[in-house]
Amino acid sequence: MKTKYNALTIWITGASSGIGEALAIAFAKRGATIILSGRDEIKLQAVKKRCKQSKKHLIVAFDISDANQTNEAYKSAQQQAGKIDWLINNAGISQRSLIMDTAEDVERKIMEIDYFAQTRLTRLALPDMLEQGGGKVVMVSSVAGLLGTQYRGAYGAAKAALHMWANSLRAELYDQGIEVATIFPGFIQTNVSMNALTGDGSTQGTMDEATSNGLTTASFAKQVVKALTKDEEYIIVAGTKEKLATRVNRLSPPKLYKLIRESKVT
């Protein structure tokens, strides 16, 4: 069945820049009504203006790591939009530090933002989705959630946890109209490495070479929209090397980790 985007309301978190911004623009182009969320309302306003039929889209600014703000944001989104058909959990933060150099409170912050904040918002949305007869939950995990690499111990763990939680959600609610998809981005040209946390909790502030050479956000969004339109559930959007690594991992994890140990990862 062809997806009728002009009848859909899609809530995208982390929509003020990067892949969230690209997804908002792409889905708006297809006629969907977009709820844009993030912490910075000024940036969200700028993204809204870039969306087709900008006046019909909504902004709900909040800090997703704050449970009280999240509860109020959900109430606001539901009240303004009337319904939420798709929830795309895209907000998150990355990491660039060795495990031995990373403080426990930094690991907890990463887990709070990249796992607990996403599952919290999803649990808020599910009852109304079930009552309206269905909906789609999209989790943005990472290739790092499939493959453990240096400098991303807590980040990879959080993204892997999100992936497994999504699998369980799919198994539990598949017969009640809830579709669940998980996206696994590889290196995409965003500010993710600039904002990544180091071992003491400060931001890295520099762009990784692999990130700067990654896929464009427009290319990422195009592939994601195509996959979600086809109701795909596991969506890897990455460069050739990352995709090859996921294949090697399925065939021989020991061989993959030998290659990872020998590779330069930053």
Q: Which residues pair with 12 in a beta bridge?
A: 36, 88
Q: For residue 209, give the DSSP letter.
A: H
Mean pLDDT of 22-48: 98
pLDDT surpasses 90 at 264: no
User: Is this model's pTM higher than 0.85 or not?
Assistant: yes
pLDDT tens digits, one per residue of 208-220 = 888 989 999 999 9
Q: What is the C-alpha to C-alpha distance for residues 245 and 45, in angstroms, rounded to an integer?
A: 38
In terms of residues, how long is the chain?
Answer: 266
Mean pLDDT of 56-61: 98
pLDDT tens digits, one per residue of 123-132 = 999 999 999 9
Query: What pLDDT, on the 0 to 100 scale, is given for residue 1?
Result: 58
Residue type, position 247, single letter? R
Q: What are phi and psi of 92, to 5 degrees?
A: 175, 175
% of the chain exceeding 70 in pLDDT: 99
pLDDT tens digits, one per residue of 41-50 = 999 999 999 9
Predicted confidence band of residue 191 (pLDDT cuts 50, 70, 90): very high
**Active site residues per annotation:** 155
196 closest CA partner among 100, 58, 49, 95? 95
Query: What pLDDT, on the 0 to 100 scale, is given for residue 226?
Result: 97
Q: Helix, strand or coil for residue 80? A: helix
- Residues 259 and 251: beta-carbon distance below 8 Å: no
Q: Helix, strand or coil for residue 52? A: coil
Mean pLDDT of 221-241: 97
pLDDT surpasses 70 at 235: yes
Query: What pLDDT, on the 0 to 100 scale, is given for residue 251?
Result: 87
Residue type, position 149, single letter? T
**Within 13 Å of residue 4, how many CA atoms lie on the same side as its CB?**
2
Q: Which residues pair with 218 in a beta bridge?
A: none
Q: What is the C-alpha to C-alpha distance for residues 107 and 55, in angstroms, rounded to an integer?
A: 39
- What topology does CATH give the domain 5-262? Rossmann fold (3.40.50)
Query: What pLDDT, on the 0 to 100 scale, is given for residue 3?
Result: 86
Q: Quick one: which H or E segment has residue 34?
A: strand 33-38
pLDDT tens digits, one per residue of 158-190 = 999 999 999 999 999 999 999 999 999 999 999
Q: Helix, strand or coil for residue 165? A: helix
- Angle of helix 240-251 versus helix 253-262 axis, rounded to 10: 140
**Domain range summary for the chain, segments of one domain joined by +:** 5-262
Round to the nearest angstrom and report the end-to-end CA distance of the chain. 43
Going from the C-alpha of 110 to that of each of 62, 89, 220, the distances in angstroms are 18, 15, 24
Predicted confidence band of residue 266 (pLDDT cuts 50, 70, 90): low
% of the chain exceeding 90 in pLDDT: 89
pLDDT tens digits, one per residue of 127-154 = 999 999 999 999 999 999 999 899 999 9
Mean pLDDT of 19-36: 98
Q: Quick one: which H or E segment has residue 179?
A: strand 178-185
Q: What is the C-alpha to C-alpha distance for residues 2 and 228, in angstroms, rounded to an integer?
A: 11
